[in-house]
A = this chain, B = another copy of it.
Amino acid sequence: MTQQTGTSTEHSEATESGLRRSEANRTALQAFVGGKPFLVDVRPAGEVMPALRERVVLTSGAPLDWSAYEGGQRRGVLGAVLYEGWATTVEEADRMLASGEIRVEPCHDHGAVGSVTGVYSASTPVLVVRDEASGVVGYCSVYEGSQRERLTYGVWNDGVRRNLERLRDVLGPALGRALRSHGPVDLAQVMRRGIRMGDDLHSRTTASSALLARELAPTFLGDPELHGEAGRAALDFLCRNDLFFLHVGMAAGKAVADAAHGIGGSSVVTAMNFSEKEFAIRVSGLPGEWFRAPVPPFQGKFFDGFTEQDRGDMGGESLIMETNGFGGMASAAAFPLQEYSGGSPEWMVENNRRMYAITLGENAQYRIPYLSRGIPAAIDVFKVVSTGITPTIHAGAGHRDGGHIGAGIYQAPLECFTAAMEAHQRTYGR
A→B interface (CB under 8 Å): 193, 196-198, 206-207, 210-211, 213-215, 217-218, 220-222, 224, 226-227, 231-232, 235-236, 239, 335-336, 338, 344-345, 369-372
Check if A222 sits within 8 Å of B232, measured CB to CB. Answer: yes
Q: Besides A196-B336, A210-B211, A217-B239, 12 other CB < 8 A contacts?
A: A193-B206, A196-B198, A197-B197, A197-B207, A197-B336, A213-B214, A218-B232, A218-B236, A218-B239, A336-B369, A338-B369, A345-B369
Check if B197 sits within 8 Å of A206, measured CB to CB. Answer: yes
Can you name 28 A-B residue pairings with CB atoms under 8 Å?
A196-B198, A196-B336, A197-B197, A197-B207, A197-B336, A198-B369, A210-B211, A210-B214, A213-B217, A214-B214, A214-B217, A214-B239, A215-B239, A217-B217, A217-B220, A217-B221, A217-B235, A218-B232, A218-B236, A220-B221, A221-B226, A221-B231, A222-B232, A227-B227, A345-B369, A345-B370, A345-B371, A370-B370
Compute how far the CA of A370 lies from the CA of B371 in the bound complex, rounded to whole angstroms. Answer: 12
Q: Give the Cβ gap from A394 to chain B, nearest Cβ, in Å.
A: 15
The listed residue with most B CB atoms (<10 A of its CB), out of A222, A231, A369, is: A369
Residues of B within 8 A of A206 (CB): 193, 197
Shortest Cβ distance from A367 into B: residue: B336
Q: Give the Cβ gap from A222 to chain B, nearest Cβ, in Å.
A: 6
Check if B197 sits within 8 Å of A218, measured CB to CB. Answer: no
3 tightest A-B CB contacts, nearest first: A335-B369, A217-B217, A197-B197
Compute how far the CA of A231 lies from the CA of B220 in the bound complex, rounded to whole angstroms. Answer: 12
Residues of B within 8 A of A239 (CB): 214-215, 217-218
Shortest Cβ distance from A345 into B: residue: B370
Q: Give the Cβ gap from A189 to chain B, nearest Cβ, in Å.
A: 13
Residues of B within 8 A of A207 (CB): 197-198, 207, 210
Compute how far the CA of A224 lies from the CA of B371 in the bound complex, rounded to whole angstroms. Answer: 47
Q: Give the Cβ gap from A269 to chain B, nearest Cβ, in Å.
A: 29
Compute how far the CA of A235 lies from the CA of B336 in the bound complex, rounded to whole angstroms. Answer: 29
Residues of B within 8 A of A210 (CB): 207, 210-211, 214
Residues of B within 8 A of A369 (CB): 198, 335-336, 338, 345
